[in-house]
Amino acid sequence: MTDTLRWRRFIMGRSTGVAVQIMNDSVQFYSSKTDTVEGSVMLSNDDDSARNAEFAYSFPGRNELMLRGRWMGDSIRVTLKRFNTDRLLLVRRGFHWINEWPENE
């Protein structure tokens, strides 16, 4: 659990950035550039160029993404499983603003 190289989560949205959460819960942010013709994704870290990486990607299953490439000097193959965000409490319950004014003066 304290491994500073092993990924815990790979978080991507609709933008051109991703976050990699490491097993010790630290998070590293990357700019990403996807080449759908070549089937590759490039990750760039502005703070540490040694963490830049390029991966070939494929979809082995309906809710799976496989990345293959070099990471921190090692060859890796990572299989990512899609997480259903509908399971998150904030999504299920919704967000509600609470205004404590004027009781909180």
> Around Cβ 32, how many Cβ atoms within 10 Å?
14
Contacts of 52 (CB under 8 A, 6+ apart): 42, 43, 44, 45
The answer to whether the pTM exceeds 0.85 is no
Overall average pLDDT of the 50-67 stretch: 93
Cβ pair 22, 12 in contact under 8 A: no
Q: Say whether pLDDT at 14 is over 80.
A: no
Residue 89, H or E segment? helix 89-93
Please, which pLDDT band fits residue 105 given cuts at 50, 70 and 90? low
Distance CA 82, CA 1 (A): 21
47: left (phi over 0), alpha (psi -120 to 50) or beta: alpha
Look at 80-84, 93-97, 98-102 and tell me which has the smallest mean pLDDT. 98-102
